[in-house]
A and B are shown apart, each in its own frame.
Chain A
Amino acid sequence: MADIALPMPGLKTADGVPLKAALARANRGAQLRAFLLVAPLFAFILLTFAAPIGQLLYRSVANSGFTTHVDFGTGVRTPIMVNVRDWFAANPAGTEPDEAAFAALVADLRHGGEIRALGNVGTRINYDVSGARSLFTSAGRRAEDLAPPFRDALLGLDADWARPDLWTAMREAAAAHTPNFYIAALDRKVDVDGSVTRVAPEQRIYVPLFWRTMLISAVIAGLCVLLGFPIAHLLATLPLRYSNLLMILVLLPFWTSLLVRTTSWMVLLQSQGVVNNALVASGIVADDNRIEMMYNQTGTIIAMTHILLPFMILPLYSVMRTIKPTYVRAARSLGASSWTAFRRVYLPQTVPGVGAGVLLVFILAVGYYITPALVGGASGQLFSNMIAFHMQKSLNWSLAAALAAMLLGAILLLYWLYDRLIGIDNMKLG
């Protein structure tokens, strides 16, 4: 319901109500009806999409491994490491742990050992300080036998208890809500003096991988435009009978399982695969010098371009169908060459479709992980593979959530930029 601009502000309806207010009231009814129609879908999306994903992303700032113990059998939640946390609250960062700190730690280790919470505590600290896990679990087993002075007793068990980075990690973990996972996701860590520094060069993965993902996705989007534009143009300009047939050829792979398509690329592109065998048989390539197109970046780009091509072709096709051929004919009749007519008359009219296709392909490519996992090898890994690694192998869900939130943030930023530069209203899906 567009707002109708009223030329005379003092206008009133027959029963004396200002026209503007009466119009607003009438509109409200229509808006309410419209909202009620959408409400079930909205609730569905909220329940099945926003709430679970929101919960997972919440894990990126909240990890209660050091603060709460959950008994999975009964569901009871117990606060743990309370004394150490109190000591941290009472003493600012950088304070050397004294006898009181160690006494608090031993008390907490005893409590944690009883309720079997130290495994989780150790795992949480192990994210930052390697080796912490067995430190906590073994200390928990022997905490009962420790006698004051606790500092010497604990250091007698294991000298690692005096490490300043261990105490820094514990202080950071003491707050259930922490930005530390985002810090780790940006290849940084919190130093003993509280400053944020970059990790050692051989530990930096996420930022370089992020840029690599953006670059590869841009390349894939570009390739899809180059390959999809002529196909869409052909489909749009052929008579309906032929274009329908060709459209089936575009849609059929689209409806085929993703895994089937990916593994068939493996068969085609691997060293002993169809393409290489054909090249060797025709003598273009020597047998021991076969082209490596699989298990590297090339494989990722080729397979993903093929898989994402329909997402480019379909919006382009829809837009091109609406472009009247008379404009190009008019340009030609006015003396423009083919190329000029294409460049200055046809191309600008397809921009909404190209924009839609590029945005779609780029966003899908950035989030893809199955195809890079299967055909990417080492150099074709994308950012989502790291997220999958932390979800499935290292089971560090907080870090996985932080990485996912980073990706989401980057995409939203790009979307906003696209809106400012080109305008979302200029995008047409058909």
Chain B
Amino acid sequence: MKMRLLATSALASMTLATTATAQDKEVVVMGWGGAYTISQVEGYHKPFAETSGIRVVSVDSDNPATPIKAQVEAGNVTVDVASVEYADAIRLCDEGLLEKIDASILTPAPDGTPAAEDFIEGAVTDCLVATDVWASIVAYDTTKYADNPPTTIADFFDLEAFPGKRGMRRGAKINLEIALMADGVPAAEVYDVLETDEGVERAFAKLDTIKSDVVWWEAGAQPPQLLADGEVAMTTAYNGRIFFAAVNDGSPFGIVWDGQVYELEGWVIPKGAPNLEEALAFIAYSTGTEASSAAAQWISYGPPRRSSESIPKTFQGKGEIDMAEHLPTSEANMSNALLSSYDFWVDRDSELNERFAAWIAAN
């Protein structure tokens, strides 16, 4: 009995001793989970930890904007860097919940072009540095539509020619835009039409035509799962997740690029982040040309830097699949693409989402 007591207390104190010595610097990065986080871990976290010696802790959330707002308002911030959508970043910055990021910390392109010129339009704002361009697209099961695959956004709303259930993200954003585009509104006029009441009515009327056949998803990993289960035949999805499932798991998924809604997303620092220095170093590294091209090898989200276009990217660096044609920003995919308007959504978000919730609940 005494020996056992001695032995267990010796073991316990040994483990305590080992944990006590691990006091390296660290930075906590919050992402969206799933394949997107994998791409960030491979493209940013691991190389950054090697070169700088700062430990990177990765945490996930369905939408990081929510937990960081909660943390800052509660005065208990545990996240240093978070990946958020463009409109959320503008809104949170206006509300004083984010640290300002000085653009001078950003790394220039390999050929010496200063960062300010290398980043695409709007990629760097007061509080946000963009990491990638992502798009919401329509993904479909190729086995269901082998001889007649859908090619336009209107096909998503055509239940006769393309039977089967549909998957859509629960929320007004993106759904209203694609409803209007499917109804014949050209991409350039979508937000003008949506500004008017009749435009909103028109979008909801179009959504009504498929409402009873829709399965609503909330997490980015759900659409590939729904397609794989056979629960839906076509679904809106984040393009990177579909690419990853198709290429990594060999799932029979196809993508309709017509009617894609693309948007920037990037890093923000919540106000009061515990490791501000490390956070800025991480952002400077991960938004560099090399790092963003590396991440683009793991998931098909386009880097927001012009200099990265010349760097060849193949899936996971294996040299088999060229990433260029899978990025939202490549020429072939941009024929009928819509840039999500943060101006519009920052204003109309509350009202349209409430209207959407009422529409969904009404039966």
A and B from one complex: yes
Mark each residue of chain A from 64 to 85: 1 if its CB lies under 8 Å from any CB of chain B, else 0.
0000001111010000000000
A-B contacts, 9 listed (Cβ < 8 Å): A119-B95, A120-B96, A134-B346, A203-B358, A377-B215, A391-B66, A394-B353, A395-B66, A395-B69
8 Å CB contacts to A: which residues of B333-363?
A: 343, 346-355, 357-363
A420 at the interface (CB under 8 A from B): no
B216 pairs with A134, CB closer than 8 A = no
B325 within 8 A of A: no
A131-B348 in contact given A120-B96, A272-B231, A295-B215 (Cβ < 8 Å): yes
Tell me if A205 and B357 are in contact (CB < 8 A). Answer: yes
* Contact segment of A19-27, A354-362, A378-386: A378-386
Q: What mask results when residues 193 to 206 of chain B are scored 1 for a CB within 8 Å of chain A, else 0?
A: 00000000000000
The answer, yes or no, to whether B72 is at the interface (CB within 8 Å) is yes
A130 touches B361 (CB 8 A): no
Complex: A203 Cα to B197 Cα, angstroms = 14
Q: Which residues in window 337-389 of A have CB below 8 A to B?
A: 373, 377-379, 381, 386, 389
Check B158 for interface membership: any CB of A closer than 8 A.
no
8 tightest CB-CB pairs across the interface, nearest first?
A119-B94, A130-B351, A272-B230, A205-B358, A119-B95, A72-B271, A378-B360, A134-B347
Q: Which residues of A contact B218 (CB under 8 A)?
A: 373
Task: List residues of chain B with CB under 8 Å of any chain A CB.
Answer: 62-63, 66, 69, 72-73, 75, 91, 93-97, 165, 171, 211, 214-216, 218, 229-231, 271-272, 343, 346-355, 357-363
A426 within 8 A of B: no
Evaluate whether A394 and B350 lie within 8 angstroms (CB atoms) in the complex, with A116-B96, A137-B94, A378-B360 already known. yes
Shortest distance from the beta carbon of A186 to any chain B beta carbon, whole Å: 14
Given the known inter-chain contacts A131-B348, A271-B230, please indicate yes or no for A73 contacting B272, CB distance below 8 A.
yes
Complex alpha-carbon distance, A131 and B357, angstroms:
19
Interface size class on chain A is: 35 or more
Query: In the assembly, what is the distance between CA of A209 and CA of B359, in Å?
Result: 12
Contact of A306 with B by CB under 8 A: no
Q: Given the complex, which residues of B lie within 8 Å of A132, measured CB to CB?
A: 347
User: Which among A116, A270, A393 has the greatest number of chain B C-beta atoms within 10 A?
Assistant: A393
The CA of A394 and the CA of B354, in the complex, are separated in Å by 9
User: Do B347 and A392 have beta carbons less than 8 Å apart?
Assistant: no
Q: How many A-B residue pairs have CB under 8 A?
A: 103
**A203→B361 contact, CB < 8 A:** no
Is A202's beta carbon under 8 Å from chain B? yes
Closest to B200 in A: A202
The answer for the CA separation of A252 and B271 in the assembled complex, in Å, is 45
A395 vs B215: C-alpha distance in the bound complex, in angstroms? 24
A116-135 vs B, CB cutoff 8 Å, 1 = contact: the mask equals: 11111011001100111110
Contact of A272 (CB < 8 Å), options: B62, B229, B343, B361: B229
Contact residues of B: prevailing secondary structure = helix
Residues in chain A within 8 A of chain B (CB atoms): 70-73, 75, 116-120, 122-123, 126-127, 130-134, 137, 202-205, 208-209, 212, 270-272, 294-295, 373, 377-379, 381, 386, 389, 391-396
For the complex, what is the distance from the CA of A368 to the CA of B270, rounded to whole Å? 31
Are B350 and A202 in contact, with the CB atoms below 8 A? Answer: no
Residues in A with CB closer than 8 Å to B353 are 389, 393-394
Chain A residues whose C-beta falls within 8 Å of the C-beta of B348 in the assembled complex: 130-131
In the complex, what's the smallest C-beta–C-beta distance from B87 to chain A, in angstroms?
A: 11
Most chain A CB neighbours (cut-off 10 Å) among B73, B165, B214, B350? B350
With contact pairs A72-B72, A123-B95, A130-B350 given, residues A378 and B229 touching in the complex (Cβ less than 8 Å): no
Q: How far is the CB of B314 from chain A (nearest CB, A)?
A: 34
Q: With A119-B91, A120-B96 in contact, is A378–B272 under 8 Å at CB?
A: no
Are A381 and B361 in touch, CB under 8 angstroms? yes
* Chain A residues positioned under 8 Å from B75 (CB to CB): 72, 75
Nearest Cβ distance between residue B40 and chain A, in whole angstroms? 22
Which residues on B sit within 8 Å (CB–CB) of A133? 346-347
Contact B231 A205 (CB under 8 A): no
Q: Note all chain A residues with C-beta closer than 8 A to B95.
A: 119-120, 123
The distance from the CB of A156 to the nearest CB of chain B, in whole angstroms, is: 20
